[in-house]
Amino acid sequence: MKLYGYYRSSCSYRVRIALNLKGIEVEHVPVHLVRGGGEQFAPEFVTKNPMAQVPLLELDSGEVLAQSVAIVEYLEETVPTPALLPRDPYQRARVRALVEMVNSGIQPLQNSLVLKELTKRNVDSTDWARLFVRRGLEALEHTAAGTAGRYLVGDALTLADVYLVPQLYNARRFGVDLAPFPTLLRVEAACLSLPAFDRARPERQPDAEP
Amino acid sequence: MKLYGYYRSSCSYRVRIALNLKGIEVEHVPVHLVRGGGEQFAPEFVTKNPMAQVPLLELDSGEVLAQSVAIVEYLEETVPTPALLPRDPYQRARVRALVEMVNSGIQPLQNSLVLKELTKRNVDSTDWARLFVRRGLEALEHTAAGTAGRYLVGDALTLADVYLVPQLYNARRFGVDLAPFPTLLRVEAACLSLPAFDRARPERQPDAEP
Protein backbone atom coordinates (compact mmCIF):
# COMPACT_ATOMS: atom_id res chain seq x y z
CA MET A 1 0.00 0.00 0.00
CA LYS A 2 1.00 3.64 -0.50
CA LEU A 3 0.18 6.52 1.81
CA TYR A 4 0.10 9.92 0.16
CA GLY A 5 0.74 12.39 2.97
CA TYR A 6 2.55 15.47 4.20
CA TYR A 7 4.75 15.46 7.26
CA ARG A 8 2.99 18.40 8.92
CA SER A 9 -0.60 17.43 7.99
CA SER A 10 -2.30 16.35 11.21
CA CYS A 11 -4.66 14.09 9.25
CA SER A 12 -1.69 12.29 7.66
CA TYR A 13 -0.09 12.04 11.12
CA ARG A 14 -3.21 10.20 12.43
CA VAL A 15 -2.99 7.60 9.69
CA ARG A 16 0.75 7.13 10.23
CA ILE A 17 0.10 6.41 13.91
CA ALA A 18 -2.67 3.91 13.14
CA LEU A 19 -0.51 2.11 10.55
CA ASN A 20 2.38 1.89 13.03
CA LEU A 21 0.11 0.60 15.81
CA LYS A 22 -1.22 -2.09 13.48
CA GLY A 23 2.29 -2.95 12.30
CA ILE A 24 1.45 -2.24 8.65
CA GLU A 25 4.33 -1.16 6.41
CA VAL A 26 3.44 1.18 3.56
CA GLU A 27 5.32 3.22 0.99
CA HIS A 28 5.13 6.91 1.96
CA VAL A 29 4.58 9.30 -0.95
CA PRO A 30 5.06 12.94 0.08
CA VAL A 31 2.62 15.53 -1.29
CA HIS A 32 3.88 19.01 -0.44
CA LEU A 33 0.84 21.09 0.54
CA VAL A 34 2.56 24.46 0.21
CA ARG A 35 5.27 24.26 -2.47
CA GLY A 36 4.25 25.56 -5.91
CA GLY A 37 0.76 26.45 -4.66
CA GLY A 38 0.23 22.93 -3.34
CA GLU A 39 1.03 19.60 -5.00
CA GLN A 40 -2.40 18.33 -3.88
CA PHE A 41 -3.93 20.44 -6.65
CA ALA A 42 -1.84 18.77 -9.37
CA PRO A 43 -4.16 17.10 -11.91
CA GLU A 44 -2.71 13.62 -11.34
CA PHE A 45 -3.43 13.89 -7.61
CA VAL A 46 -6.92 15.40 -8.00
CA THR A 47 -7.78 12.47 -10.25
CA LYS A 48 -7.05 10.21 -7.29
CA ASN A 49 -8.74 12.46 -4.71
CA PRO A 50 -11.19 15.10 -5.94
CA MET A 51 -11.12 16.77 -2.49
CA ALA A 52 -7.39 17.52 -3.20
CA GLN A 53 -6.49 16.45 0.34
CA VAL A 54 -4.08 14.13 2.07
CA PRO A 55 -3.98 11.53 3.50
CA LEU A 56 -4.87 9.17 0.70
CA LEU A 57 -4.30 5.44 1.04
CA GLU A 58 -3.72 3.51 -2.18
CA LEU A 59 -4.35 -0.20 -1.83
CA ASP A 60 -2.30 -2.78 -3.72
CA SER A 61 -5.29 -3.20 -6.05
CA GLY A 62 -4.88 0.46 -7.07
CA GLU A 63 -8.11 1.42 -5.31
CA VAL A 64 -7.82 4.54 -3.17
CA LEU A 65 -9.30 5.61 0.15
CA ALA A 66 -9.63 9.20 1.33
CA GLN A 67 -10.67 10.68 4.70
CA SER A 68 -8.72 9.67 7.80
CA VAL A 69 -11.78 8.29 9.62
CA ALA A 70 -12.67 6.02 6.69
CA ILE A 71 -9.03 4.89 6.49
CA VAL A 72 -8.56 4.10 10.18
CA GLU A 73 -11.92 2.29 10.39
CA TYR A 74 -10.84 0.27 7.34
CA LEU A 75 -7.54 -0.62 9.03
CA GLU A 76 -9.43 -1.59 12.20
CA GLU A 77 -11.73 -3.89 10.21
CA THR A 78 -9.06 -5.50 8.08
CA VAL A 79 -6.28 -5.76 10.71
CA PRO A 80 -8.25 -6.20 13.95
CA THR A 81 -5.23 -6.70 16.24
CA PRO A 82 -4.31 -4.71 18.23
CA ALA A 83 -7.85 -3.35 18.52
CA LEU A 84 -8.17 0.44 18.50
CA LEU A 85 -11.86 0.40 19.39
CA PRO A 86 -13.32 -1.21 22.54
CA ARG A 87 -15.74 -4.14 22.15
CA ASP A 88 -18.77 -2.64 23.87
CA PRO A 89 -20.95 -0.57 21.49
CA TYR A 90 -21.42 2.29 23.96
CA GLN A 91 -17.68 2.49 24.66
CA ARG A 92 -16.98 2.39 20.91
CA ALA A 93 -19.39 5.28 20.48
CA ARG A 94 -17.62 7.28 23.20
CA VAL A 95 -14.31 6.77 21.39
CA ARG A 96 -15.84 7.76 18.06
CA ALA A 97 -17.38 10.86 19.65
CA LEU A 98 -13.93 11.96 20.87
CA VAL A 99 -12.51 11.22 17.41
CA GLU A 100 -15.16 13.44 15.82
CA MET A 101 -14.66 16.24 18.35
CA VAL A 102 -11.22 16.55 16.72
CA ASN A 103 -12.00 15.38 13.19
CA SER A 104 -15.08 17.50 12.49
CA GLY A 105 -15.08 19.81 15.52
CA ILE A 106 -11.57 21.27 15.44
CA GLN A 107 -9.35 20.35 12.50
CA PRO A 108 -11.61 21.55 9.63
CA LEU A 109 -11.71 25.05 11.14
CA GLN A 110 -7.94 25.41 11.19
CA ASN A 111 -6.82 23.62 8.05
CA SER A 112 -4.60 25.44 5.60
CA LEU A 113 -7.27 26.07 2.97
CA VAL A 114 -9.59 27.70 5.51
CA LEU A 115 -6.82 29.85 6.96
CA LYS A 116 -5.89 30.98 3.45
CA GLU A 117 -9.49 32.00 2.71
CA LEU A 118 -9.63 33.90 6.01
CA THR A 119 -6.42 35.79 5.21
CA LYS A 120 -7.88 36.75 1.81
CA ARG A 121 -10.77 38.32 3.75
CA ASN A 122 -8.44 40.24 6.08
CA VAL A 123 -9.17 38.01 9.07
CA ASP A 124 -6.32 37.22 11.48
CA SER A 125 -6.11 33.51 10.74
CA THR A 126 -3.88 32.63 13.71
CA ASP A 127 -6.32 34.27 16.10
CA TRP A 128 -9.15 32.33 14.41
CA ALA A 129 -7.28 29.01 14.62
CA ARG A 130 -6.49 29.59 18.30
CA LEU A 131 -10.13 30.34 19.09
CA PHE A 132 -11.45 27.12 17.58
CA VAL A 133 -8.58 24.92 18.76
CA ARG A 134 -8.94 26.24 22.31
CA ARG A 135 -12.72 25.83 22.26
CA GLY A 136 -12.46 22.27 20.99
CA LEU A 137 -9.73 21.29 23.43
CA GLU A 138 -11.78 22.69 26.33
CA ALA A 139 -14.65 20.37 25.41
CA LEU A 140 -12.22 17.49 24.92
CA GLU A 141 -10.55 18.10 28.31
CA HIS A 142 -13.96 18.26 29.98
CA THR A 143 -15.10 15.03 28.34
CA ALA A 144 -11.76 13.29 28.92
CA ALA A 145 -11.92 14.10 32.62
CA GLY A 146 -14.83 11.65 32.74
CA THR A 147 -13.44 8.95 30.44
CA ALA A 148 -9.64 8.91 30.76
CA GLY A 149 -7.40 6.40 32.44
CA ARG A 150 -3.86 6.06 31.11
CA TYR A 151 -5.32 6.97 27.71
CA LEU A 152 -8.32 9.06 26.64
CA VAL A 153 -10.86 6.30 27.18
CA GLY A 154 -9.76 4.01 29.99
CA ASP A 155 -6.38 2.27 30.09
CA ALA A 156 -6.26 0.90 26.55
CA LEU A 157 -5.16 2.89 23.51
CA THR A 158 -7.98 3.79 21.13
CA LEU A 159 -8.57 5.84 18.01
CA ALA A 160 -9.33 8.79 20.30
CA ASP A 161 -5.63 8.92 21.24
CA VAL A 162 -4.66 8.60 17.58
CA TYR A 163 -6.63 11.81 16.92
CA LEU A 164 -5.60 13.69 20.06
CA VAL A 165 -1.82 13.70 19.58
CA PRO A 166 -1.75 15.30 16.09
CA GLN A 167 -4.27 17.94 17.21
CA LEU A 168 -2.04 18.94 20.13
CA TYR A 169 0.85 19.20 17.66
CA ASN A 170 -1.26 21.66 15.64
CA ALA A 171 -2.28 23.53 18.79
CA ARG A 172 1.40 24.21 19.54
CA ARG A 173 2.01 25.38 15.96
CA PHE A 174 -0.70 28.00 16.53
CA GLY A 175 0.74 28.96 19.92
CA VAL A 176 -2.24 27.80 21.98
CA ASP A 177 -1.47 27.70 25.71
CA LEU A 178 -1.96 24.06 26.70
CA ALA A 179 -1.69 24.52 30.47
CA PRO A 180 -5.51 24.39 30.92
CA PHE A 181 -5.57 20.85 29.49
CA PRO A 182 -3.76 18.64 32.03
CA THR A 183 -5.63 15.43 31.15
CA LEU A 184 -4.88 15.84 27.45
CA LEU A 185 -1.18 16.56 28.14
CA ARG A 186 -0.86 13.54 30.40
CA VAL A 187 -2.41 11.24 27.79
CA GLU A 188 -0.23 12.79 25.07
CA ALA A 189 2.92 12.02 27.08
CA ALA A 190 1.81 8.42 27.55
CA CYS A 191 1.19 8.09 23.81
CA LEU A 192 4.45 9.68 22.69
CA SER A 193 6.40 7.26 24.87
CA LEU A 194 5.23 4.52 22.48
CA PRO A 195 7.38 3.85 19.39
CA ALA A 196 4.30 3.77 17.10
CA PHE A 197 3.52 7.39 17.99
CA ASP A 198 7.12 8.52 18.15
CA ARG A 199 7.97 7.22 14.68
CA ALA A 200 4.88 8.95 13.25
CA ARG A 201 5.92 12.43 14.48
CA PRO A 202 6.17 15.04 11.73
CA GLU A 203 9.86 15.74 12.42
CA ARG A 204 10.72 12.05 11.92
CA GLN A 205 9.34 11.94 8.36
CA PRO A 206 11.63 11.88 5.30
CA ASP A 207 9.86 14.94 3.84
CA ALA A 208 10.28 16.98 7.06
CA GLU A 209 11.79 20.40 6.56
CA PRO A 210 14.03 22.27 9.01
CA MET B 1 -34.18 7.04 24.26
CA LYS B 2 -34.31 10.81 23.83
CA LEU B 3 -32.93 12.79 20.92
CA TYR B 4 -32.02 16.38 21.70
CA GLY B 5 -32.17 18.16 18.37
CA TYR B 6 -33.26 21.18 16.38
CA TYR B 7 -35.50 20.95 13.35
CA ARG B 8 -33.15 22.92 11.08
CA SER B 9 -29.87 21.41 12.32
CA SER B 10 -28.56 19.23 9.51
CA CYS B 11 -26.72 17.02 12.03
CA SER B 12 -29.97 16.38 13.92
CA TYR B 13 -31.68 15.67 10.57
CA ARG B 14 -29.10 12.93 9.84
CA VAL B 15 -29.83 11.17 13.12
CA ARG B 16 -33.61 11.45 12.61
CA ILE B 17 -33.24 9.74 9.23
CA ALA B 18 -31.09 6.93 10.67
CA LEU B 19 -33.52 6.34 13.55
CA ASN B 20 -36.44 6.21 11.12
CA LEU B 21 -34.63 3.80 8.80
CA LYS B 22 -33.87 1.53 11.76
CA GLY B 23 -37.46 1.79 12.99
CA ILE B 24 -36.38 3.16 16.39
CA GLU B 25 -38.86 5.38 18.21
CA VAL B 26 -37.38 8.07 20.44
CA GLU B 27 -38.65 11.06 22.37
CA HIS B 28 -37.66 14.25 20.55
CA VAL B 29 -36.50 17.08 22.80
CA PRO B 30 -36.17 20.37 20.89
CA VAL B 31 -33.15 22.59 21.67
CA HIS B 32 -33.61 25.95 19.97
CA LEU B 33 -30.21 26.98 18.60
CA VAL B 34 -31.10 30.65 18.04
CA ARG B 35 -33.71 31.73 20.62
CA GLY B 36 -32.30 33.54 23.66
CA GLY B 37 -28.73 33.29 22.33
CA GLY B 38 -29.09 29.52 21.93
CA GLU B 39 -30.58 26.97 24.32
CA GLN B 40 -27.56 24.71 23.64
CA PHE B 41 -25.51 27.03 25.86
CA ALA B 42 -27.86 26.57 28.85
CA PRO B 43 -25.89 25.09 31.77
CA GLU B 44 -28.13 21.99 32.03
CA PHE B 45 -27.48 21.19 28.37
CA VAL B 46 -23.73 21.92 28.47
CA THR B 47 -23.47 19.49 31.40
CA LYS B 48 -24.80 16.81 29.05
CA ASN B 49 -22.72 17.93 26.05
CA PRO B 50 -19.69 20.16 26.68
CA MET B 51 -19.49 20.90 22.93
CA ALA B 52 -22.91 22.64 23.32
CA GLN B 53 -24.13 20.99 20.14
CA VAL B 54 -27.06 18.94 18.95
CA PRO B 55 -27.79 16.15 18.19
CA LEU B 56 -27.37 14.40 21.50
CA LEU B 57 -28.79 10.92 22.06
CA GLU B 58 -29.70 10.02 25.63
CA LEU B 59 -29.95 6.30 26.22
CA ASP B 60 -32.48 4.78 28.61
CA SER B 61 -29.59 4.29 31.06
CA GLY B 62 -29.14 8.08 31.14
CA GLU B 63 -25.80 7.82 29.31
CA VAL B 64 -25.43 10.30 26.48
CA LEU B 65 -23.86 10.18 23.04
CA ALA B 66 -22.74 13.19 21.03
CA GLN B 67 -21.52 13.54 17.43
CA SER B 68 -23.72 12.29 14.63
CA VAL B 69 -21.12 9.84 13.28
CA ALA B 70 -20.69 8.21 16.69
CA ILE B 71 -24.48 8.02 17.07
CA VAL B 72 -25.22 6.49 13.65
CA GLU B 73 -22.36 3.97 13.98
CA TYR B 74 -23.80 3.04 17.41
CA LEU B 75 -27.25 2.56 15.89
CA GLU B 76 -25.73 0.44 13.10
CA GLU B 77 -23.95 -1.77 15.65
CA THR B 78 -26.87 -2.18 18.05
CA VAL B 79 -29.70 -2.43 15.48
CA PRO B 80 -27.98 -4.06 12.50
CA THR B 81 -31.09 -4.41 10.30
CA PRO B 82 -31.59 -2.80 7.86
CA ALA B 83 -27.84 -2.39 7.34
CA LEU B 84 -26.66 1.12 6.46
CA LEU B 85 -23.10 0.01 5.71
CA PRO B 86 -22.14 -2.59 3.09
CA ARG B 87 -20.46 -5.82 4.24
CA ASP B 88 -17.21 -5.51 2.30
CA PRO B 89 -14.54 -3.48 4.17
CA TYR B 90 -13.50 -1.48 1.10
CA GLN B 91 -17.12 -0.61 0.27
CA ARG B 92 -17.72 0.35 3.90
CA ALA B 93 -14.71 2.64 3.68
CA ARG B 94 -16.05 4.27 0.52
CA VAL B 95 -19.33 4.97 2.29
CA ARG B 96 -17.53 6.38 5.33
CA ALA B 97 -15.36 8.56 3.08
CA LEU B 98 -18.50 10.09 1.54
CA VAL B 99 -19.96 10.55 5.03
CA GLU B 100 -16.83 12.43 6.12
CA MET B 101 -16.76 14.57 2.97
CA VAL B 102 -19.98 16.04 4.37
CA ASN B 103 -19.40 15.62 8.11
CA SER B 104 -15.90 17.08 8.35
CA GLY B 105 -15.45 18.53 4.86
CA ILE B 106 -18.54 20.73 4.48
CA GLN B 107 -20.81 21.08 7.49
CA PRO B 108 -18.26 22.39 10.04
CA LEU B 109 -17.41 25.31 7.74
CA GLN B 110 -21.00 26.49 7.50
CA ASN B 111 -22.41 25.81 10.94
CA SER B 112 -24.08 28.64 12.81
CA LEU B 113 -21.26 29.25 15.29
CA VAL B 114 -18.71 29.65 12.50
CA LEU B 115 -20.95 31.95 10.50
CA LYS B 116 -21.50 34.07 13.60
CA GLU B 117 -17.74 34.40 14.18
CA LEU B 118 -17.25 35.37 10.52
CA THR B 119 -19.92 38.06 10.75
CA LYS B 120 -18.20 39.47 13.85
CA ARG B 121 -15.07 39.82 11.68
CA ASN B 122 -16.99 41.59 8.89
CA VAL B 123 -16.87 38.60 6.55
CA ASP B 124 -19.89 37.92 4.31
CA SER B 125 -20.91 34.65 5.92
CA THR B 126 -23.37 33.61 3.19
CA ASP B 127 -20.69 34.02 0.55
CA TRP B 128 -18.34 31.95 2.75
CA ALA B 129 -20.92 29.20 3.28
CA ARG B 130 -21.67 29.04 -0.45
CA LEU B 131 -17.96 28.72 -1.29
CA PHE B 132 -17.37 25.74 0.99
CA VAL B 133 -20.70 24.04 0.31
CA ARG B 134 -20.15 24.35 -3.45
CA ARG B 135 -16.56 23.12 -3.20
CA GLY B 136 -17.59 20.12 -1.11
CA LEU B 137 -20.53 19.23 -3.32
CA GLU B 138 -18.31 19.39 -6.42
CA ALA B 139 -16.02 16.76 -4.90
CA LEU B 140 -19.02 14.72 -3.78
CA GLU B 141 -20.61 14.85 -7.25
CA HIS B 142 -17.30 13.84 -8.83
CA THR B 143 -16.88 10.92 -6.42
CA ALA B 144 -20.53 9.90 -6.65
CA ALA B 145 -20.31 9.72 -10.43
CA GLY B 146 -18.03 6.71 -9.88
CA THR B 147 -19.95 5.05 -7.03
CA ALA B 148 -23.66 5.80 -7.44
CA GLY B 149 -26.46 3.52 -8.52
CA ARG B 150 -29.94 4.32 -7.27
CA TYR B 151 -28.21 5.68 -4.15
CA LEU B 152 -24.79 7.24 -3.52
CA VAL B 153 -22.96 3.92 -3.31
CA GLY B 154 -24.64 1.33 -5.49
CA ASP B 155 -28.31 0.43 -5.27
CA ALA B 156 -28.65 0.03 -1.52
CA LEU B 157 -29.18 2.88 0.93
CA THR B 158 -26.16 3.67 3.09
CA LEU B 159 -25.04 6.23 5.64
CA ALA B 160 -23.68 8.29 2.73
CA ASP B 161 -27.29 9.02 1.69
CA VAL B 162 -28.21 9.82 5.28
CA TYR B 163 -25.53 12.56 5.19
CA LEU B 164 -26.20 13.82 1.66
CA VAL B 165 -29.86 14.80 2.02
CA PRO B 166 -29.46 17.18 5.01
CA GLN B 167 -26.44 18.83 3.36
CA LEU B 168 -28.47 19.57 0.22
CA TYR B 169 -31.16 21.06 2.48
CA ASN B 170 -28.49 23.39 3.89
CA ALA B 171 -27.15 24.16 0.42
CA ARG B 172 -30.60 25.47 -0.57
CA ARG B 173 -30.82 27.58 2.59
CA PHE B 174 -27.60 29.30 1.49
CA GLY B 175 -28.87 29.70 -2.08
CA VAL B 176 -26.30 27.41 -3.71
CA ASP B 177 -27.16 26.60 -7.34
CA LEU B 178 -27.57 22.81 -7.40
CA ALA B 179 -27.82 22.40 -11.17
CA PRO B 180 -24.14 21.29 -11.46
CA PHE B 181 -24.85 18.29 -9.22
CA PRO B 182 -27.21 16.01 -11.21
CA THR B 183 -26.09 12.77 -9.51
CA LEU B 184 -26.63 14.21 -6.04
CA LEU B 185 -30.07 15.57 -7.00
CA ARG B 186 -31.14 12.24 -8.48
CA VAL B 187 -30.07 10.36 -5.34
CA GLU B 188 -31.77 12.96 -3.13
CA ALA B 189 -35.07 12.48 -4.98
CA ALA B 190 -34.83 8.71 -4.54
CA CYS B 191 -34.19 9.18 -0.80
CA LEU B 192 -36.96 11.68 -0.21
CA SER B 193 -39.47 9.32 -1.80
CA LEU B 194 -38.91 7.04 1.23
CA PRO B 195 -41.06 7.66 4.33
CA ALA B 196 -38.00 7.43 6.66
CA PHE B 197 -36.44 10.45 4.93
CA ASP B 198 -39.70 12.30 4.40
CA ARG B 199 -40.72 12.10 8.06
CA ALA B 200 -37.28 13.39 9.10
CA ARG B 201 -37.54 16.61 7.05
CA PRO B 202 -37.11 19.79 9.07
CA GLU B 203 -40.55 21.12 8.12
CA ARG B 204 -42.21 17.95 9.48
CA GLN B 205 -40.80 18.41 13.01
CA PRO B 206 -42.95 19.61 15.92
CA ASP B 207 -40.50 22.45 16.64
CA ALA B 208 -40.53 23.69 13.02
CA GLU B 209 -41.21 27.39 12.62
CA PRO B 210 -43.01 29.07 9.73
**A209 near B CB under 8 A:** no
Across the interface, of B50, B100, B136, the residue whose CB is closest to A143 is B50
The confidence score (pLDDT) of residue A51 equals 80
Q: What is the mean pLDDT of chain B?
A: 96
pLDDT of residue B25: 96
Is residue A13 a contact partner of residue A202, using CB atoms and an 8 Å limit?
yes
Give the predicted TM-score (pTM) of the model. Answer: 0.97
B58 touches chain A (CB under 8 A): no
- The strand pairing partners of B65, in sequence order, are B57
Q: Can you give the pLDDT at residue A125?
A: 97
Average pLDDT, chain A: 96
Please judge whether B97 and A67 are an interchain contact, meaning their C-beta atoms are less than 8 angstroms apart. Answer: yes
Sheet of A27-30, strand order? A27-30, A2-5, A56-58, A64-66
For residue B154, the cross-strand partners are B148
pLDDT recorded at residue B177 = 98
Burial of B121 (0-12, 13-18, 19+ CB in 10 A): middle
The pLDDT score that the predictor gives to residue B199 is: 98
For residue A154, list its beta bridge partners: A148
Residue A27 has what DSSP assignment? E
Residue-wise DSSP of chain B: -EEEE-TT-HHHHHHHHHHHHHT---EEEE--SSGGG-GGGSHHHHHH-TT--S-EEE-TTS-EEESHHHHHHHHHHHS-SS-SS-SSHHHHHHHHHHHHHHHTTTGGGGSHHHHHHHHHTT--HHHHHHHHHHHHHHHHHHHHHHHBSSSSSBTS--HHHHHHHHHHHHHHHTT---TT-HHHHHHHHHHHTSHHHHTTSGGGSTT---
Query: What is the predicted pLDDT for the residue at A74?
Result: 98
Is any Cβ of chain B less than 8 angstroms from the Cβ of A69?
yes
pLDDT of residue B147: 93
Q: Is A184 on the interface with B (CB under 8 A)?
A: no
Interface test with chain A among B10, B24, B51, B109, by most A beta carbons within 10 Å:
B51
Q: Is the pLDDT of residue A162 over 90?
A: yes
pLDDT at A6: 96
Instruction: Say if CB A154 and CB A131 are below 8 A apart.
Output: no
Question: Is the Cβ of A114 closer than 8 Å to some Cβ of chain B?
Answer: yes
Span A4-21, pLDDT tens digits: 999 999 999 999 999 999
Q: How confident is the model at residue B87 (pLDDT cuts 50, 70, 90)?
A: very high
The pLDDT of residue B127: 97
Q: A58 forms bridges with which residues in the sheet? A: A2, A64
Q: What is the pLDDT of residue B73?
A: 98
Kindly determine whether residue A70 and residue B100, on different chains, have CB atoms separated by under 8 Å: yes
Position A35 confidence tier, pLDDT thresholds 50, 70, 90: confident
3-state secondary structure of A31: coil
Tabulate helix, strand, coil % of chain A (nearest 5).
55, 10, 35
Percent of chain A with pLDDT strictly greater than 70 = 100
pLDDT tens, B117-126?
A: 999 999 999 9
* B124-160 per-residue burial string, b: 16 or more CB within 10 A, e: under 16: ebbebbbbbbbbbbebbbbbbeebbeebbbbebbbbb
Query: Once rounded to an integer, what is the mean pLDDT over residues B64-79?
Result: 97
What is the mean pLDDT of the segment spanning A185-199? 98
* Overall average pLDDT of the B11-22 stretch: 98
- Domains belonging to chain A, first-starting first, are 2-81+197-204 (3.40.30.10), 89-195 (1.20.1050.10)
Q: How far apart are CA A206 and CA A10, in angstroms?
A: 16
3-class secondary structure per residue, B113-147:
HHHHHHHHCCCCHHHHHHHHHHHHHHHHHHHHHHH
Q: What is the pLDDT of residues B17-35, one digit of tens each?
A: 999 999 999 999 999 998 8
pLDDT at residue B166 above 90? yes
Model confidence at A34, in pLDDT bands (50, 70, 90)? confident
- Is pLDDT at B182 greater than 90 in this prediction? yes
A104 touches chain B (CB under 8 A): yes
pLDDT confidence band for B176 (50 / 70 / 90): very high
Nearest CA in chain A to B52: A139
Cβ contact (<8 Å) for A90 and B74? yes
Taking the C-alpha atoms of residue A5 and residue A31, their distance in angstroms, rounded to an integer, is: 6
* Mean pLDDT value of segment A168-173: 98
Picking from A67, A123, A138, the nearest residue to B100 by CB comes out as A67
What are the tens digits of pLDDT across the range B90-125?
999 999 999 999 999 999 999 999 999 999 999 999
Residue A3 predicted with pLDDT over 90: yes
